[in-house]
């Protein structure tokens, strides 16, 4: 990481906006530059600005928040810091800004703004809570690591040297990119835990597995064969019974079907009898349907004649009412014409007065507007005059207040001015010292807590060691018991074998089994042996000698006894061998457990020793810190006496507030004295100007009052003249009313004219329509009489005497179709059911001839139930035996597999246990500390190279007990090894500088440390050590590194040509001067 550019505004004594470009050729050419200036001028503010831009915090003040911002310059309303930096991830711009309300110095602090972007301005993140994560991602360092490895701030230059083991571990891990070792250590610990749990679970899982004995197994197998044979017999018998029962069921179903068909036929015959009357109706309807084409025209003509006669009656009734309507419309028309004439006469008489009133209304409106404007102006001037009087009063009050403030300021300066003035330059230093004392007290509390925790851990370790020793003794006792048990099992097995092997007994058993089979075969041929004769060939083998025909056949009972005895012996030996294997496995596990417990005891002893050493170190740190803190409190209180204040632990915030209040009080009174006289002069000038404006305003108000009176008189005269013409009536509304009445009257007259003409036309039209309708009615009556006479002749030909007989026989087309379909369906259904009865009768006769001699259905059903019950019980027994046999085989397989898994799991657990003892830990610390110890060794080598360039007296060496702790070899004291805690201030600086440069050498792919800023520390060096330190820093130019040194040491300023100078000005302000140092505003 390398800082390329810095911009800041209103930070501490650096008022205004400033920019420093570290890419200037002077910085790059020399590789080292100094930041110089008087104490309190603001040198460390440069480093504060870098930290503020990146992390929103500074080494001296911590995090900047809405409630606390001590870095913003006094009497300003905003501040910011902006830095351009380069890392392996690219080039980025980081900006931090905070303002007060309305950017006023007296405003409340607002929420800070923090963002990071690419150099081209593309925003990466601007959420304050997320920006720090992006900074850590891009730089590889958080705030603590940044201040320890790249920016060594004032008072914390040797912070890495004095960091705790855990803090050093974290710094090295981030700088060297070795997080993987922590992950490996945690993974090993978790894998060992899982492997151990798996092994214990497997051991517990064998307790529920039990296998059947050989006798029980043989009995179950034979029983299963018998049940399978009996199952086949029962199934055959059940099948025959079911066939006979099916025949009985088929006979019953056949009879039921025949009876059902006969019932249906009877119902169909009854339905046909009931349908005979409808058949007669259907015949008549078919005859009537032939006359439909002659009757339809007659029926249509009759309907038309009825409609025309009805219309004729309506027309005769309407004509009298039309005559009456015509007479009424004529009367209305005459009345409307008379009313229209009267309205026209009234309108012409009123128009002169209406027009004159319109002219007067316009004049009144103009006069009213003029009067309103004059009155509004009068009110405005009155308000202005009142405001002037108030402002004059306020200025008089302000004048008195300013005179009083000046008096108070003179009084304060005479009493406290000289003392409080020093706070303008020394306050930040005092606050820093107070914060350091607070941190020291907090550190002391942590040390006390750490001592208590360490003592607790020591007691815990003692108890754990006692428990482990007791467990170790118990395991040894168990080992002796199992060893005795194994020896007894071996002796018992040896006694059973009787100097023979198990395989020999198995071969002997096979021999006797074959012999038993041979004897059974001989016994089965007893009849054939009785037919054999001496000197006559055997029909099977052709031998002339037949020994078993006269000799006794060997006894099978003797062979069976030998087989049983050998089988029992083999079973005992196999069981004993299995027990020996289990005992040997348990014995091996116990020995492994003893080894593990010994390792745990050894580890606990080492941890106990480390804890004792750690307690000694913590007590030493506590005593040193207590002594330093008491000295610093004494020195600080000496300085605070002149302010009548005193430092007390845990009350620092109140002390800082009192000091800040004194400084602000001095600033306020100082500003009052410098600006009070000018302010007083301004107030008197304002009062004089305000009095002049007041006089001119009063004159203007008097003239305006006279104009308002004159305008009111003219307005009243116009209103009186207008009232005489129309009173309060509106001329426009009056004119519009006359026009509306005229318009309505004319519209009424026009409407009545149209209505009268339409009435005349309607009457003539109805009279003509009535004449034509009478002619059509007479013609239709003649045609209807002729058609009816002809239709009656047609009816007679089809056996209808009258038209009424024809109309009674008619059916609708849907009714006719329904009856025809119903008749056809009845006929078809009778034919179908007759055919089905014949077919069912034939099928029944065939079934009766199939079986002649068969049991009754009741007997068959009882027999079937009995056989099915026997079969169900048999299947239950068979399933039970099958389940037992299968379960026994599964148990054997599972036990074999489980034994193999237990042995494998134990081997895996032992491997993981060994690895865990070496590098495993729950927090990853064990392997990380080892790996980082190697890294630390490399860093120490680099630091020693830098240290040799500065002094041949010292050499750094890793502590043999604590891998990340350091000792120092003093070559001037015959190579004596000293603790770094005993180094003097100058020695600590030299060693810290060497370590910082060693970290720069250690730059890996994770972080590049290409910029290094050192704040103070050189004042502790003599001239020779100063030269060697600067020479060592100058060599880093070849590695493209930039070193910035902040110091007020004169010798240092003379040795470094490139400098940024901080010049202190009046009023606690400072300015920057140096290469590419530019003031932007």
pLDDT mean values, one per 10 residues, the chain (1081 residues): 92 92 85 84 88 91 88 91 91 94 88 93 91 89 76 55 69 61 82 85 72 78 84 84 82 86 86 81 80 80 82 81 81 81 79 80 83 84 85 85 81 74 73 81 80 78 79 79 80 78 76 71 60 60 55 62 80 78 75 73 76 77 76 77 76 81 78 77 83 83 83 82 79 81 84 82 81 82 80 80 80 82 84 86 79 74 84 84 82 79 83 84 77 77 80 79 78 78 73 73 60 70 69 66 79 79 85 91 67
Q: CA distances (Å), 160 to each of 135, 169, 578, in order?
A: 21, 11, 64
Q: DSSP assignment, residue 961?
A: S
Note the CATH number of domain 428-642. Answer: 1.10.287
The pLDDT assigned to 85 comes to 92
Q: Hey, what long-range contacts does 323-329 have (CB within 8 A, 24 or more apart)?
A: 323/763, 325/759, 326/756, 326/759, 326/760, 326/763, 329/752, 329/755, 329/756, 329/759
**Residue partners of 688: CB distance under 8 A and separation at least 6:** none
Q: Hey, what long-range contacts does 601-605 have (CB within 8 A, 24 or more apart)?
A: 601/465, 601/468, 601/469, 601/472, 603/917, 604/461, 604/464, 604/465, 604/468, 605/465
Task: Return the bridge partners of 85, or none.
Answer: 3, 92
Separation CA 446–CA 622 (nearest Å): 9
Helix or strand (DSSP H, E) at 827: helix 813-848
669, 751, 683: which is closest to 421 by C-alpha?
Answer: 669
Helix or strand (DSSP H, E) at 90: strand 90-99
Separation CA 196–CA 238 (nearest Å): 61
Neighbour tally for 6: CB within 10 Å: 21
Q: Quick one: the chain helix, strand, coil %, rounded to 5?
A: 75, 10, 15
In this structure, what token pair is assigned to residue 1042?
């930039």
User: Looking up tokens 């596990």, which residue turns up?
Assistant: 589
As a residue count, the chain comes to 1081
Separation CA 237–CA 605 (nearest Å): 84
The pLDDT assigned to 664 comes to 79
**Residue partners of 374: CB distance under 8 A and separation at least 6:** 704, 707, 708, 711
Q: DSSP assignment, residue 133?
A: H
Query: Cβ(700)–Cβ(419) under 8 Å?
Result: no
User: Looking up tokens 């015509």, which residue turns up?
Assistant: 326
Dihedral of CA 873/876/879/883: which sign?
negative
Region of 499 please: left (phi>0), alpha (psi -120 to 50) or beta: left
**3-class secondary-structure state, position 988:** helix
Dihedral of CA 493/497/502/506: which sign?
negative
Q: Hey, what long-range contacts does 691-695 have (CB within 8 A, 24 or more apart)?
A: 691/392, 693/388, 694/385, 694/388, 694/389, 694/392
Separation CA 864–CA 855 (nearest Å): 12
Q: DSSP assignment, residue 91?
A: E
In terms of C-beta density within 10 A (0-12 exposed, 13-18 middle, 19 or more buried), how is residue 234 classed? middle
Query: Cβ(256)–Cβ(264) under 8 Å?
Result: no
Distance in angstroms between the alpha carbons of the first and the last residue of the chain: 29
CATH among 3.40.50.300, 3.40.630.30, 3.40.30.10, 3.90.340.10 for 1-35+42-140+1060-1081: 3.40.50.300
Separation CA 293–CA 810 (nearest Å): 13
CA angle 238, 242, 245 (to 5 degrees): 140
User: Looking up tokens 């060939």, which residue turns up?
Assistant: 537
905, 894, 907: which is closest to 198 by C-alpha?
Answer: 905
Task: Return the bridge partners of 117, or none.
Answer: 93, 123
Separation CA 305–CA 791 (nearest Å): 18
**Residue partners of 424: CB distance under 8 A and separation at least 6:** 663, 666, 667, 1067, 1068
The pLDDT assigned to 635 comes to 78
Separation CA 544–CA 546 (nearest Å): 7
Separation CA 28–CA 33 (nearest Å): 10
The pLDDT assigned to 1080 comes to 85
The pLDDT assigned to 94 comes to 96
Separation CA 152–CA 147 (nearest Å): 5
Separation CA 950–CA 1024 (nearest Å): 9
Separation CA 907–CA 12 (nearest Å): 68
The full 3-state SS of 28-80, as one line of letters, equals HHHCEEEEEECCCCCCHHHHHHHHHHHHCEECCCEECCCCCCCCECCCCCEEE
**3-class secondary-structure state, position 910:** helix
User: Looking up tokens 């705030």, which residue turns up?
Assistant: 143
Longest dimension (CA), the chain: 186
């Amino acid at each position: 990481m390398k800082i390329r550019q810095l911009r800041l505004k209103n930070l501490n004594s650096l008022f205004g906006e400033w920019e420093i470009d570290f890419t200037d050729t002077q910085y790059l050419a020399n590789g080292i530059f100094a930041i110089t200036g008087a104490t309190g001028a603001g040198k460390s503010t440069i480093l504060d600005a870098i930290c503020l831009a990146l992390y929103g915090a500074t080494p001296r003040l911590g995090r900047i928040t809405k409630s606390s911002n001590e870095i913003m310059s006094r009497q300003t309303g905003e501040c910011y810091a902006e830095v351009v930096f380069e890392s392996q991830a690219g080039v980025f711009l980081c900006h931090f800004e905070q303002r007060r309300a309305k950017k006023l110095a007296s405003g409340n602090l607002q929420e800070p703004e923090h963002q990071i972007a690419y150099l081209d301005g593309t925003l990466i993140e601007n959420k304050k809570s997320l920006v720090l994560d992006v900074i850590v991602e891009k730089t590889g360092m958080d705030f603590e690591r940044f201040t320890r490895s790249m920016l060594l701030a004032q008072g914390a230059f040797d912070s890495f040297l004095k960091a705790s083991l855990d803090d050093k571990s974290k710094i090295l891990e981030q700088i060297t990119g070795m997080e993987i070792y922590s992950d490996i250590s945690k993974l090993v610990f978790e894998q060992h835990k899982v492997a151990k749990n798996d092994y214990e679970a497997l051991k517990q899982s064998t307790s529920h597995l039990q296998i059947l004995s050989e006798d029980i197994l043989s009995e179950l197998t034979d029983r299963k064969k018998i049940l399978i044979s009996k199952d086949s017999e029962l199934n055959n018998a059940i099948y025959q019974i079911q066939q006979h029962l099916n025949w009985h069921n088929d006979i019953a179903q056949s009879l039921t079907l025949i009876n059902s068909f006969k019932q249906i036929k009877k119902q169909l015959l009854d339905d046909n009898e009931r349908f005979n009357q409808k058949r007669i109706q259907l015949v008549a309807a078919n005859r009537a349907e032939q006359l439909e084409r002659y009757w339809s025209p007659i029926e249509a003509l009759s309907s038309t004649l009825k409609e025309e006669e009805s219309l004729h009656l309506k027309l005769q009734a309407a004509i009298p009412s039309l005559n009456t309507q015509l007479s009424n419309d004529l009367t209305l028309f005459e009345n409307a014409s008379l009313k229209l004439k009267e309205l026209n006469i009234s309108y012409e008489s009123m128009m002169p007065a209406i027009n004159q009133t319109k002219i007067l209304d316009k004049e009144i409106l103009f006069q009213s507007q003029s009067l309103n404007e004059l009155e509004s102006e009068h009110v405005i001037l009155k308000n202005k005059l009142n405001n002037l009087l108030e402002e004059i009063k306020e200025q008089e009050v302000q004048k008195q207040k300013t005179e009083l403030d000046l008096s108070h300021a003179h009084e304060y300066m005479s009493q406290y001015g000289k003392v409080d003035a020093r706070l303008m330059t020394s306050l930040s230093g005092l606050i820093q010292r107070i914060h350091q004392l607070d941190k020291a007290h907090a550190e002391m509390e942590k040390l006390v807590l750490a001592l208590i925790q360490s003592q607790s851990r020591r007691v815990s370790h003692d108890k754990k060691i006692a428990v482990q020793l007791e467990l170790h003794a118990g395991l040894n006792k168990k080992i002796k018991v199992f060893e005795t048990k194994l020896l007894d099992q071996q002796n018992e097995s040896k006694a059973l074998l009787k100097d023979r092997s198990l395989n020999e007994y198995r071969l002997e058993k096979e021999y006797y089994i074959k012999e038993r089979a041979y004897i059974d075969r001989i016994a089965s041929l007893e009849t054939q042996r009785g037919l054999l004769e001496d000197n006559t060939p055997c029909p099977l083998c052709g031998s002339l000698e037949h020994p078993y025909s006269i000799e006794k056949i060997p006894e099978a009972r003797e062979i069976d006894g030998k087989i049983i005895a050998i089988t029992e012996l083999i079973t005992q030996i196999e069981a004993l061998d299995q027990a020996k294997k289990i005992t040997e496995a348990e014995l091996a596990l116990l020995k492994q457990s003893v080894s593990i417990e010994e390792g745990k005891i050894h580890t606990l002893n080492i941890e106990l020793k480390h804890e004792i050493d750690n307690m000694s170190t913590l007590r030493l740190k506590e005593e040193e810190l207590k002594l330093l803190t008491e000295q610093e409190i004494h020195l600080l209180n000496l300085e605070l006496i002149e302010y009548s204040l005193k430092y007390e632990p845990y009350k620092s915030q109140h002390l800082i507030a009192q000091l800040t209040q004194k400084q602000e009080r001095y600033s306020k009174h100082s500003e009052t004295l410098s600006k009070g006289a000018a302010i007083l002069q301004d107030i008197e000038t304002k009062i004089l100007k305000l009095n002049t404006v007041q006089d001119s305003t009063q004159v203007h108000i008097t003239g305006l009052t006279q104009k308002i009176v004159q305008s009111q008189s003219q307005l009243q005269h116009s209103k009186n003249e207008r009232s005489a013409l129309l009173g309060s009536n509106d001329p426009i509304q009056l004119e519009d009313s006359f026009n509306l009445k005229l318009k309505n009257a004319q519209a009424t007259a026009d409407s009545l004219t149209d209505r009268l003409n339409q009435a005349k036309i309607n009457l003539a039209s109805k009279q003509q329509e009535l004449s034509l309708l009478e002619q059509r009615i007479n013609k239709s009556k003649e045609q209807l009489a002729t058609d009816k006479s002809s239709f009656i002749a047609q009816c007679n030909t089809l056996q209808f005497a009258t038209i009424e007989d024809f109309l009674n026989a008619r059916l609708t087309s849907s009714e006719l179709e329904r009856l025809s379909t119903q008749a056809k369906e009845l006929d078809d259904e009778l034919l179908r059911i007759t055919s089905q009865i014949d077919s069912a009768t034939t099928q029944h006769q065939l079934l009766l001839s199939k079986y002649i001699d068969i049991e009754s259905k009741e007997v068959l059903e009882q027999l079937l139930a009995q056989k099915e019950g026997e079969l169900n019980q048999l299947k239950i027994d068979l399933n039970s035996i099958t389940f037992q046999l299968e379960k026994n085989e599964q148990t054997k397989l599972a036990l074999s597999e489980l034994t193999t898994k237990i042995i494998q799991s134990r081997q895996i657990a032992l491997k993981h246990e060994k690895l865990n003892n070496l590098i495993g830990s729950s927090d990853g610390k064990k392997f990380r500390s080892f790996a980082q110890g190697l890294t630390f060794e490399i860093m120490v080598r680099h630091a020693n190279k830098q240290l040799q360039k500065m002094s041949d007296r010292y050499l750094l060496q890793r502590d043999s007990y604590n891998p990340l702790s350091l000792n120092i070899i003093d070559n001037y004291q015959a190579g004596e090894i000293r603790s770094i805690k005993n180094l003097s201030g100058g020695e600590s600086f030299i060693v810290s500088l060497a370590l910082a440069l060693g970290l720069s050498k250690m730059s890996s792919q994770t972080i590049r440390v290409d910029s290094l800023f050192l704040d103070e520390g050189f004042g502790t060096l003599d001239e020779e050590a100063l030269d060697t330190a600067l020479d060592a820093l100058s060599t880093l130019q070849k590695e493209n590194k930039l070193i910035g040194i902040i110091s007020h040491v004169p010798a240092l300023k003379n040795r470094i040509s490139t400098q940024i100078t901080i010049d202190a000005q009046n009023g606690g302000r400072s300015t920057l001067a140096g290469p590419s140092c530019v003031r932007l505003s």
